[in-house]
Structures are given as C-alpha cells and as structure tokens.
Structure 1
C-alpha cells in the first residue's frame, strides 16, 4: 500500500525521468516508505503568514495590469495615431502571453527554486512598465505589453507552487483563500485606479504608477522572501545555495537552516544540470491526464463566463445608464468586493470539508503533517461544497442578463455582479486547491497548466461577447453562458466518482517506471 509522505528521503529518490506530461512520482505513491515523524514544514506560523503576504502582493500585478490599462485605450490610440483595432491588439497580446508565460516560469520555479525566478519575473515586469511609460510607437507598445504580461503572469503560478511547499492539504484552503483575496479584487480595482490616474495625470502615469508599486514589491521580495522549494531546501531545514538565499535570512528563514550545510538538496544529494533544466511543455501535457482535464475544463468554462460579464460592462452600462468611464469603473467594485469576501470564506470552507471527509473516512488528520493521500478521497473532500457555488453563479449570470434587458435600477445588476463575483471566485478557489493536490511535486507547473487553459478560453469569451449581445440580445447571451456552466455539473460528478481511481492508476504507472529505472541503474552500477 502506498503511503503518503513528503519527508526528504522520499523526495530525493525521485528522478525527473517522467513520461511526457506526467509529473514526478508523487511521494504519496512510493511504496513501503516510512511515515515522517516531524512536521511537513519547519517554517513557523509567523514566517508562513509573511510569505503568504508576499505571495498575495506579487500575484496582484498580473490581473491588475490587464484592467488598469483599459481607461488608457482611447488616449493611447489618439496619441500614437493608430486605429481601434491596432490598440486592441495590445489587449490581445497581453492575454496570450498571460496564458503562455507561466508554463515556463512555473516549471522553472519547480526546478531552480521560487526565489530566483520570482526576482527575474519582477525585474522583467518593472522594466517593461518603464518602457511602456515612454514608448511612442505601435511596435514598441505591443512588444512591451508582451514583456509586461510575461513578467507579471508568472508570479501567479509560482505563488501557488510556493504555498504548496509549506502547507499540507488539511490547512491549504485557508492560506490560499487569503492569498487569492487581494489578486481577485484587482480586475475590479484596475479600471477605477487607471481611470483616476489617466484623468488626473495622463495615461503614461498609469505605467509609472506600476513601476513604483512593483519596485516596492521587488525590494520586499529581494530582502525578505525565503526559498521554499522542497527540491532546494527540503522541509525548510536545508540552507539553500547562494543564488536562492534571502538577504534577511535570520528573520524569515527557519532557524534549523542557519547551521545546515549549503547545497540545496537534502541528504547530500546534489542537483544535476539535468535536474534544473525546465521543460515548459510539461504544463501543456499535464492537461491530457483524465483526472486533471475535467477540472481544467470546468475552471475554464466558469472563467470564460466571468470575463464575459466583466467585458460587457462598459458597453452595457454606458448604453443603458449613460455612465462615463469613471462611473463604469466604479461598477466593477461589486465584483471585487464579492471576490474578496468569498475568497476568505471559501478558504475556511475548503479546510472544513477536508476535516469532515477525513472524519467520515476514519482518517486521522494532522494539520502539520501530510496524511496518506493515496487512500484519502480528495475528490470528495475538494468537491464537497462546489455544487452550491456553481448553482448560485449560474442562477446569478442568467438573472443578470434578463435584468439588464429590462433596464432596471442600477442596484439590481450591481447586486447580481456581487453574487457572480463571490460564487465564481469560490469555484475558482476550490478547483485551484484541488489542482495543486493532484500534482504536489510540481504545483507551480500544474497551476500554469490551469492558467494556460482559463486565459485562452477567457480571451475567446471577451472577443465574442459584443457580437453575441448584438446577435442574441443581453438576456439570451447570458442564458447561453449559464447553460454552458450547467454542463459542468455532470463533468464534476464524473470526477467525484472516478477521479480517485484515475489518480491512483496514474500514480501506479509512475511507481512502476521508478522501480524499473532503479533496477536498471543498479544493474548498470553492478556492471
């Protein structure tokens, strides 16, 4: 029987000789491994909270940079002397690279470590924002928006990977709920802040604002963000190599690591060059595993519906209520408020569901140690409460469309926006935690695969929503999106019933390959 444990001995024996698209062999599938006695992570509670604060701050920039730029579209078009189609290309290129870039940065952070990749992505982002503030041509605008997206979007995948480094499934929900609260509000805050800056100081100061804000975040990361990657520091007790070492080490790193030797690999195993070479295609190939493909499809569908509502607000509220850009921007606050509250509450619910299912299954849960995930019904635990959030979101999306078609008082659609934001964020949080659980040895890579799917589908929904409203009308457009989301119920029921079986089958294949590789190496060594 496979025993789940993340202790260092199990991790070192794992090689990166996986088949294309398959994760490293999860430690919960290594047979006959002794159960670790010490906690999963030696980081203190205060250190964990500090790291989560930095993750929350860093993950804010990707979605915020996408929407803070919206109020600048018209003045940018006028100053550069370009067409509407050309200026809209700067939105499209941002979304495309927002989907693609994390496949490299996520995988890179899983191999080299979180800290150096975080710093690299922030440096790229700050440089791109400074360039955008002074550029004067369409070509420069498009190239710098690509770089800006590449730098900011990588932080989201790395944040999820970092969180998985020091949290167990039993406690992960609460931490992730807090970490997502601030970033999930950023799409709503972006148009408001961007509009205010553009109105007061001109559109170029939007990018100077991002330079200043991101530089402060970069300084904090440089001084006080410790390395957490378990392939580099184990449970936190191994002092990392110089490249991964934090400046204020004694404040934010576990005391156990101060006297430990350098090297970044537990039990003396040095990482080879092969260990550190990233494979960005792993994020793509992960999608083709049955247990993962279903939850990624559900995530993408709800994300597309969410952005369909978001993207339609400027047109609908300006036509129906005669709102100007600032008033339209303020309407997004309903989404943001709902998302923040929902993210925090959902995190608590996720942890409660885990404990509830553990009790019913007769499995003792220790929040500080990793339990036996091979026998644990993760699928039932993670999907226990998602049905309510999905049903509420579908009802609110359909009601939102028909409410706007009747042009009611603005309070009605704003209340529905709040409900859509809260319920949709709840669905996203639950699936994000579940995705990390399915790929514990490469969480950033797995998160990048989710980011790739949802951003690509979200880009499609934002590009067709205006056409749909013109052809179908507001009511039937959002009824369509509600019905598409309804299709997710049977998909998740399949995951709940058979996902555990698929997960174990995938793990068993990897275990057999590990054993064959080990025997082969022993035979070659004996020869």
Structure 2
C-alpha cells in the first residue's frame, strides 16, 4: 500500500468554529491563568477541586448557535468521565449488588414457613419465636447505619466482604443451633450481616451510574431484593417440609459461599471516595483481580488523561459513626423524604403481613397455598422498579430538554439549578395515587370475602405501586446525597424498618377492632395524608438543596484547610 494512503496530514486549525474550539480549550487547560485560584494550589489541587464540584457538561441550547453547540459538545468531552467502567463491567457490578440485596431480603422471608417447626423443636411459644422476627428487624434498621458509614469511608468492597463473613458465620451457627437462646442471638448476627447489602447496592449504583441513567440501574438493583417475597416463602416451605428447618440455613450457607467467590476475586472497588470514577487505584489491601488489571493499564502511561479522576484528598479511616446517618433526619429535604418513603411502603408491609391470616381465614388455604399466594405481590414488586426506572430516566431527559440542557450520560453533570425533585416526583405521583386506591379497594373486597382472583390482582397492583414509589424516592435520595449514598439509604432502611415493624404489629389488632375494610382504609388514609410532602419538596426542595450544598461546601473547605495544615506541620 502506498505510504500516502496510510499517512494523515495534520492541517492547522482555522475558521471561526475552530477558533471557538481553540478559545474554549485554552480556557479549559490553563487553570493557572485564573486569578481566583491561589498560587499555592498545585495542579492536583485544581483537578481535585474540579472533580469534587463535578465538571459542568450541561449547556443551554438557546444561547448557542448550532455550529457552536457542536464545538461545545466537543470540548465537553475533554472533562473526566463519570465512570470508566464499561457497560459489561457495569452489568456485572450491578448484577452482583442486586444478588447481594437478594440475600438481605430472602433471609427474612425464607424463615417464615419454619416458625411452627422451630417452636415445636425448642419447646417455646409462638410469641417467643415471633420475637426472633422482631429482633431481626431491629438489627436490620440499626446495623446499616454503622456499615453504611464504613462503606462510604473505606469502600464498598471491604463492607461487602465483612457483611458476608458475618452472614456465613451466622448461617453455620443457625444450622447447628442447639437451643432457643442461640437462635435468638444468631438471628441478630445474621441480620447484622445481611441488612446492609441493600444499602450497599444503592451506593454502588450511585458510583457507576450518572444521574441521567440512574433510574434504570437502580431498578435493576432493586429486582434482587424484591424477588424474595415471591420465592422466599415457597423455598422455605419446601425445604422445611422435606429436609427440615436446619437445611434452610445450610441452603443459605451454600448460596452465600458461592457468591463470595466472584465477589473476592473479581468485584472491583467502586466508591467514588476511594477510586474516583474508577481510574484511581484503591488501597493495596482492597484490590480485586479487575482492579489490579486496571492499575497495570494505568501505570503504562505517566500522564493523567481526560478520562482519569484527579487525585482525591487523603482520608483517614475512622470508626463508623451511626450518627452520620441519623443526622440526615435533621436536613429539611432529606428528613421529609425519609419520612415520606417510610409511609409509602406501609401498604406493602401490611398486605404482606396479613396475607397468611386473611387467606387462611377466608379461603381456608394450607401453608403451601399461603406460600404460593405471595407470588402476585412479589411479581408486582419485581416488575415495578424496572419499569419505573425507564420512566425516571425518560422524564429526567425530557425535563432537561425543556430547560435547553444537553445530557451526556457518560459525564458528570452540574445539577445545581436542575429541578431534580420535580423530575422524580412527576413519575412518583401516579403510583402513589394508584396505591391509595388499590389499598382501599383491597381492604373492602377482603372485608366482604371477594373471589380469590380479585384479591390476587389487587395484591399485584399494591406490590407494583408501593415498590415503584419507594424506588423512585430511593433514586431521589441518592441524587441528593451523591457522596454518601450508602449512608442515606441506610438511614432510609432505618426509618422503613421502624415504620414497618409498627405497622405489621398493629394491623392484626386493627383488623379485629375495625374490620378488614376499616384497617386498610386507615392504611390508605395515612398514605394519602402524607402525599402533600411531595408537593412541598417540589416547591421548596431546590432552595433547601442549595442551602445544604453551600453549608457542606464550607465544611469541606474548612476540613481541607485543616488537612493541609497537618501536612505542612508534618513536613
């Protein structure tokens, strides 16, 4: 082949469009010329600060000519990628996080059919056996506050490994459990190991998925824990009946050990506080095979590329503080969201808790039939987050288009002036209204002993609407706390577990006192009563969000100054 055909001629940049590119590029790559940056700041400091404020990739279409807009898009690609993980890597990472969440949810549901057998074997009352459910939920709400803070500080991968070490140890003990006291303690240990996994999954999605595509990935991540109400009681009933209740925990042990193999060998660290967008190496003791290969590739070049994360500030490893999660309750927008989300899930909890009681009384179902009757509720919970995720992402892009903003899914976006609350609530409200109506209808048809198909259809609708609304609010919580997503979801689980424990404890006495129709009318009324919170968040949320952002920025600035003073003193 002729040499001329394989050599590309480099021509000088000219023309008005290229002048624009040259001008913007010079402004982008010469931060030292900015008088607002103190001279003592190094290039690494500038890059770090620009990373922490997330490069702005949203450009107003109405103020730029089409040809100029093309240049702006070209220049915007010079900023750091939001995440360097490829699509196949994202799929693996989110699949693993969804599977981890599955363990958290199934550990509670698979246990239910064996309660009578456990009471008989240990010679205790049903009330004492039910106490193992109560303590499980208490630890399910408290432990994630500790582990969530650890995951946001040290990394997701160490938190996952620690959780599964606790979980595997608890399952071994439960399978060999000799008495009731051991059962009670080991169930608390099992809850400690599994309860954080759902919050960890949400944090992982926030690490690898930009806000414009986060809805779909959060939906996929939620499919893991949402499938357990459908299949958990069925699996538990079959194992308990044919192999004995101890084999429930042997089964969970085998599954969790199998999961640990790819987790330890291949699961990379994703926390943005540790590896940035994935291009920075994690701690030496926190390296998987994937991370090791990425570091080796990065070491081949000595200079940072536009896709690389700038250096992150040095972070000291501190003991996890549950108050970090509880402190979020004091933030106006976060506190309202946590309270709203806890109430949103009450119809799901109430329907789940009353199904064995109502179906055995009305339809005279056996234990196996009761287990199968959970399938419609679980099917709605599985389907909801995936469908809802598509709507969330679609509405985000639609809102951005109305505002004249360009959405780049691969790069970080400045959401300071973006109406996040409105974009998410527009998808949420139809599910809330449908959940209120279906909960009210379900209560009254069960009150009058309606045909079974009607009850199952309404259970599907309740499961779908309640889970979809809950998932949409989870996405908004992660949007509002991008640096501490695991901590905020842990706080969310804390509120949800407390509200769920109270609702499930009160619903049967409410049915006995008010009737089935009255109890479910009360449930629907509580949900309807808190719905104005959504309107308040749309109206006031952006202002509260900006106030919180400014306050946190000042705190981070003071901490950075203290860190530099310590480093100067050590030198």
Q: Same fold (TM over 0.5)?
A: yes
Partner of residue 149, structure 1:
191
Structure 1 residues 272 and 291: alpha-carbon distance in aligned structure 2, compared to 1, 3 A threshold: closer
Cα displacement (A) at 1:478? 0.3
Cα distance in 2 between the residues matched to 1:245 and 1:44: 18
Partner of residue 335, structure 1:
377
Cα distance in 2 between the residues matched to 1:354 and 1:314: 40
Cα distance in 2 between the residues matched to 1:508 and 1:270: 19
- Asked if structure 2 preserves the Cα contact closer than 8 Å seen for 1:104 and 1:280, the reply is yes
Cα distance in 1 between the residues matched to 2:532 and 2:52: 28
Partner of residue 381, structure 1:
423
Q: Per-residue CA shift, 1:426-448, capped at 9, x if unaligned?
A: 10110010000110011101111
Partner of residue 297, structure 1:
339
Cα distance in 2 between the residues matched to 1:377 and 1:506: 15
Cα displacement (A) at 1:255? 7.2
Partner of residue 81, structure 2:
39
RMSD value over aligned CA atoms?
2.6
Q: Does 1:208 align with 2:250?
A: yes
With structure 1 as the length reference, what TM-score do the two structures score? 0.90
1:18-167 maps to which residues of 2 (within 5 A)? Answer: 27=53, 37-167=79-209
- Asked if structure 2 preserves the Cα contact closer than 8 Å seen for 1:401 and 1:477, the reply is yes
Structure 1 residues 52 and 259: alpha-carbon distance in aligned structure 2, compared to 1, 3 A threshold: farther
Partner of residue 180, structure 1:
222
Cα displacement (A) at 1:510? 2.1
- Asked if structure 1 preserves the Cα contact closer than 8 Å seen for 2:47 and 2:310, the reply is no
Structure 1 residues 233 and 515: alpha-carbon distance in aligned structure 2, compared to 1, 3 A threshold: closer
Residue in structure 2 matching 1:476, options 492, 496, 518:
518
- Asked if structure 2 preserves the Cα contact closer than 8 Å seen for 1:29 and 1:508, the reply is no
Q: Per-residue CA shift, 1:483-518, capped at 9, x if unaligned?
A: 101012211100011100000011112223444556
1:376-455 maps to which residues of 2 (within 5 A)? Answer: 376-455=418-497
Q: Does 1:317 align with 2:359?
A: yes
Aligned residues, how many? 503
Structure 1 residues 8 and 345: alpha-carbon distance in aligned structure 2, compared to 1, 3 A threshold: farther
Unaligned 5+ runs, structure 2? 1-42, 57-74, 303-307
With structure 2 as the length reference, what TM-score do the two structures score? 0.83
Q: Relative to structure 2, which stretch is displaced further, 474-483 or 174-183?
A: 174-183
Cα distance in 2 between the residues matched to 1:310 and 1:76: 21
- Asked if structure 2 preserves the Cα contact closer than 8 Å seen for 1:335 and 1:422, the reply is yes
Q: Does 1:245 align with 2:287?
A: yes
For 2:234, what is the secondary structure of its paired residue? helix
Structure 1 residues 29 and 466: alpha-carbon distance in aligned structure 2, compared to 1, 3 A threshold: farther
For 2:535, what is the secondary structure of its paired residue? helix
Cα distance in 1 between the residues matched to 2:46 and 2:459: 47
Structure 1 residues 471 and 370: alpha-carbon distance in aligned structure 2, compared to 1, 3 A threshold: same
- Asked if structure 2 preserves the Cα contact closer than 8 Å seen for 1:63 and 1:183, the reply is yes
Structure 1 residues 269 and 371: alpha-carbon distance in aligned structure 2, compared to 1, 3 A threshold: closer
- Asked if structure 2 preserves the Cα contact closer than 8 Å seen for 1:42 and 1:254, the reply is no
Cα distance in 1 between the residues matched to 2:538 and 2:120: 53
Cα displacement (A) at 1:63? 1.3
For 1:170, what is the secondary structure of its paired residue? coil
Q: Per-residue CA shift, 1:250-274, capped at 9, x if unaligned?
A: 67x587546589xxx965567343x
Partner of residue 271, structure 1:
314
Cα distance in 1 between the residues matched to 2:207 and 2:352: 33
Cα displacement (A) at 1:477? 0.4
- Asked if structure 1 preserves the Cα contact closer than 8 Å seen for 2:103 and 2:194, the reply is yes
Structure 1 residues 217 and 157: alpha-carbon distance in aligned structure 2, compared to 1, 3 A threshold: same
Cα displacement (A) at 1:229? 1.0
For 2:195, what is the secondary structure of its paired residue? helix
Partner of residue 4, structure 1:
none
Q: Relative to structure 2, which stretch is displaced further, 275-284 or 48-57?
A: 275-284
- Asked if structure 1 preserves the Cα contact closer than 8 Å seen for 2:269 and 2:286, the reply is yes
Unaligned 5+ runs, structure 1? 1-6, 15-24
The structure number with the bigger radius of gyration is: 2
